[in-house]
Each structure stands twice: as structure tokens, then as C-alpha cells.
Structure 1
């Protein structure tokens, strides 16, 4: 079908309008079925938490993602585990051997000082495209609004391709409160003076995805999307769901 007036979507190798899925152990056969049908709607695949370390068919999975032009990378929890055990050199060497070209630098579980993260980013960006993450997985830990803005600016200035705003796979921490509602004051603050095209908002539920689509338009970057929700998300992006039905007037212009 190609006869409706729908919001313009970025296509191909997008620099924004990104959908980043979270892979928590999708079987290869099922993954290939999803990618065969929906790869045009997926840009990045995070092999979630530390699951990459115990995935028996990891190389096959990475190759499959790359076959369908989806960028694979490992979740920040694995990075933090390697940091704590002082195994970052072994970690980055393993990523290179696997053909993974992106790395996440986070501090969602471990409180890694900002200056230390910036130093790691400086080293890693020689060999990888770097994604950083801001925010804690601890529901009881609140960062001041000014600190969110300060960290994001420094991380982007250090050469990160994108900064992820923490939301967990449950959507109950970081930019969300414990019942899954968006901290709207925080989102308004960090989007006021920061290019939202450089932010990936973790939004694991359709309700959260719809908030960001209505707030920032069709081509907002969204992460921690479940692979079985990819088609629903694309439907939402194109104003083909009730909650985003009148999206057209908020559409961002394509370059």
C-alpha cells in the first residue's frame, strides 16, 4: 500500500529516526524470521545485559544482524562487569575479533566516575563507534536535572555517536518513575538545549514510545524496543495508531 499521506520517515542507514532493539536471547531461527520481514525498521540491536558472554551462537547472531544491515553491540552491563574486573582490554579485543564495531560505555549498575568514563571513551573511539548511557538502573537513585544535561553534553563532546537515556528493559528507572511514567520535567530540560537526534530514549513499552513520538515526532530515536514490537512501533511512527493519529503536523523535515 502506498496511497496515504503519512509522516516522512528516514530510511536506509539512518543517523536519526533510529529504532534500537534489545535482544535478550532471541533464537537464531526466530531472529532470522523477524529480520527477513522487518529489518528495514531496525537500525541497532543491543545484545542485552551480559547475555553476549554466554550466548552459544554469538558469532552467528552477529553475522546475521550484519547480513541485514543492523548494527549489533553488547549491553552496557557487560562493559561494567569488565570494568569492575579490570578486563576492558580483553573485552575490546574480543569485540574486535567478533567484528563488533560499536561499544556502550555506561554506569547503570556501577558508579563509574564521569572523568573515568570520558577517559575510556577517548581510548575506545580509536577503534569503535561509542554509545554512552546516562542514568542509573536503581529506582531509588535520582540524578539532578542539571547533572543529566551536564553529563550528556560532555559525553557528546567527547565523541560519542549517541547518548542513551537510561530506562531499563522494564521502563521503571532513569527517565521513568517506578510506575513507568515519563519524568516529563527531565525530558523537557535535556531536550531544550541538546540535539535530540543525538539521544536514544529507552522506551520498552508502546505507551512510552507513543509519548516520545508525540513529543518529538516521527523520527525520534528509541531504544530497548522488543523485537516483536518493531512493526507496531513503525505503525505508531507513521500515525497509523489512534494515539499518534494526528502526528503529521509534528513531522520533522528530512535533510
Structure 2
């Protein structure tokens, strides 16, 4: 008897939510932030969690710190696992300040990245410059993700500007617009200084977004992930997920963890 044929979990145990899409998917995108994983750790991550990761961001300006061949290897491994990769948006901001945008795009493409993040978390970009950077990415055959929000402590979201930015970025060709929360998830964007979601702000944003499915929420803390999943559903796009938290987030999405298990959907007298 083929023992392996008996090892398939029933659908109700694999995904109690019943709504988790397989890759490539347009709901429930998970973006992981890599702050400098070595090759073996990166390989282990892909071997165990590739089906649950859609996008890996090599955070901040870490890209030029890698030996080029090692970086190429990481990006190739991710591509073979069906995962998109992009450098952190801060790196493109550095390129703008240094007048090295053209070289930045060229090297991103040559190294094997498949996407780019256009942000102004530290610097200020005019609307025309933002459009130019989005267009450059598309012309380089890169998927473009944009980001809204400043990185400094205590920064708040200007709702009208956010809605306008989301609409215009999508019109320019951005795949998703990320709402800034940094890797800490505290004192930035929709999260207060303790990392608690400002629900009044969240509700206003969702009510005004023309297409909420084009928004990715940075939510590095478990409590934030649980909160957004309960408010917006298992199909919400979440980012800045630590590599060691990918499995934990996937269980939350599927209802395989107590925080998101739908108790009233269980049988009245479970045996």
C-alpha cells in the first residue's frame, strides 16, 4: 500500500476557513521582510514556507551590502519558488538623493529582482516624480509596489492625501499600495505608540478606498495581524512579516489558531 497516499489532510483540517487561495493569488498576499538572512536560512525558509509567501522584501538599503553572487542566488531561489522579490523602498529613496536612479533600476533588474517599491517614507517626492519612478519600474518589466506614509515616530495619515495617492498610484500601474508601519509597528500610520490599531482611522480609510483589495497593510506584530484579519477578513494583504512568523500568520489566515478559530461554526456537540 502506498503510505504517502494516506497522508493528505482533509480539506477541513488544512483550511477551516475554506477560502485560502493557492498561489498565484489575488487575496491574502503575504509580504515577508528579510533583514539579512544567510543563504542557508533563506533556503530553509523557502523549503518550509514558500507556498505561504508571495513577496519578499530585502529591507531598507541592504542590497549593496551582499556579495553580488550571493544576492543573485537568493533572488534566483525565490523566483524558482514562485515568490516575487524587491529591495526596500528606502534604497530607491537613497538613489533619488544620490542621483543614481538610472543605475539603481538597471542593477535591480540585472541582479534578478522582479519588483520594486516606490516610497517616500523619508524623503518627499512630488507627484510627477512618483509617477516617473512608477513608470520606470514598469518599463523595466518590474512589478511596482508603492508605499504611503512617513517613517518618523508619531507620523499620522492624512486621509485625503492617502486616498488620492492610492487612486493615482493604481492608475499609474502600481499593483498594490502599502500602508507604512515600519518593522516595529509602533507610533506610525494606523498604529499608536503601543502598536494598537487606531480603528477610527482604519474604518474611515476602508470606507473611502475605491478598491480595498489594492492595499497592503504592514503589520509586523501578531496582535496587529489578528486585529486586521478579524476586521478585514482572511483575504487582507499583510506585509513586513518576519520570516519566523510566516507559519504563524498562515494559521491565523486559515483559522488554525485559537485567535481566529470561528467557534460558533463548530458542531454543537463536537466529539
> TM-score normalised to the size of structure 1?
0.93
Q: Choose the corresponding residue for 1:188, options 199, 203, 211.
A: 203
Task: Please show how residues 164-243 of structure 1 align to structure 2 within 5 Å.
Answer: 164-172=178-186, 173-194=188-209, 195-243=211-259
Residues 1:72 and 2:82 are matched in the alignment: no
Which runs of 4 or more aligned residues in structure 1 lie more than 6 Å from their structure 2 counterparts after TM superposition?
none
Task: Please show how residues 37-76 of structure 1 align to structure 2 within 5 Å.
Answer: 37-56=48-67, 57-76=70-89
Give the Cα separation in 1 of the matches to 2:56 and 2:179.
Answer: 16
Give the Cα separation in 1 of the matches to 2:44 and 2:169.
Answer: 36
RMSD value over aligned CA atoms?
1.6
SS at 1:40 equivalent: helix
> TM-score normalised to the size of structure 2?
0.87
Number of equivalent positions: 249
Structure 1 pair 177–40 and aligned structure 2 pair: CA distance change class (3 A): same
- Counterpart of 2:101 in structure 1 is 88
Whether the 8 Å contact between 2:156 and 2:190 is mirrored in structure 1 is no
Higher relative CO (Cα under 8 Å, sequence separation at least 6) belongs to 1
SS at 1:211 equivalent: helix
- Counterpart of 2:171 in structure 1 is 157
Give the Cα separation in 1 of the matches to 2:212 and 2:157.
Answer: 19
Whether the 8 Å contact between 2:135 and 2:172 is mirrored in structure 1 is yes
Give the Cα separation in 2 of the matches to 1:200 and 1:213.
Answer: 12
1:4-57 deviation line (CA, Å, top 9, x unaligned): 471110112112211110000111101111211111001100000111110222
Residues 1:147 and 2:161 are matched in the alignment: yes
SS at 1:84 equivalent: helix
Gaps of 5+ in 2: 1-8, 266-271
> CA offset at residue 184 of structure 1?
1.7
